[in-house]
Amino acid sequence: MKNTVFTGIATALITPMTAEGVDYTQLGRLIDWQIAEGINALVICGTTGEGSTLTDEEHRDVIRYAVERVAGRVPVIAGTGSNDTAYAIDLTRYACEAGADSVLVVSPYYNKATQNGLIRTFETIADASSVPVILYNVPSRTGVNIAPKTVQALAEHPRIAGIKEASGNIAQVAEILALAGDKIDVYSGNDDEIVPTLALGGKGCISVLSNPLPRQTVEICDRFFAGDVAGAAALQLKYLPLIRALFSEVNPIPAKAAMAAMGFGEDYLRLPLTPMEESNRRVLLDELRRLGVATV
């Protein structure tokens, strides 16, 4: 097995923003709080971090800022994927130079690819990386699924170390682990599948839930790894209403609303994302209050 980037929970961190740009004061507060709460790793500039609407300069600055702020306390995983492979390579090289511990590379969206195209694309990006690469499979956003046999082929690359599996298909998670579980780490990309993924041999989750609940989400994994499977499952079910609320609209709309309600910056998103519908917001805030974490 290659070196594992992290075990447990990595928060797919929001990027606090205002109309003027990235709010680094709030981003720094959020990073420090997440680490104090016991998070196992942080993903910067991913889907939840609105990496797709950050300018190139902002994307690079946020990665460098996060690496410097974290200062080695937990692994920093930088989102560097793109539908433009040349750009993904440039951004990956930058993240490596900036000191990121790993990069998260989403499959090409919009223009898509065949499975052979995916293999060539990911291998080319991994060839350019000096740190471990975590693949990101999210076909609901990209329009293409990374098939288990494709993951098996990619697992042979010395720097492709993991996959964030967000297909929502637990049978596919099982097949990946059956085919390549000894060569690639599998992380759930869905908060409602943390315990099922761990039960199949996964290493953890790249999580949205852990934005508002880092300590509690980590506890799911801690209980499971300590042998308390029933306790882990009970927590998974306890937080299911909040998970549903966090995905009642496209991510990261609800996550931004949740973190604003907890005092971490403004509820500000960049188009095409818009603020949460009030009916859904009420449900989300009610859940946060029920769990004792909302400040409004």
Catalytically active residues are 136, 164
β-bridge partners, 210: none
C-alpha span between 159 and 222 (Å, rounded): 27
SS3 286: helix
C-alpha span between 266 and 257 (Å, rounded): 8
CA angle at residue 209 from 35 to 285, to 5 degrees?
A: 110
CA angle at residue 53 from 284 to 268, to 5 degrees?
A: 40
Retrieve residue 77's tokens. Answer: 């995983």
The residues near 195 (Cβ < 8 Å, ≥ 6 apart) are: 220, 224, 229, 232, 233, 236
For residue 167, the surrounding DSSP H or E stretch is none
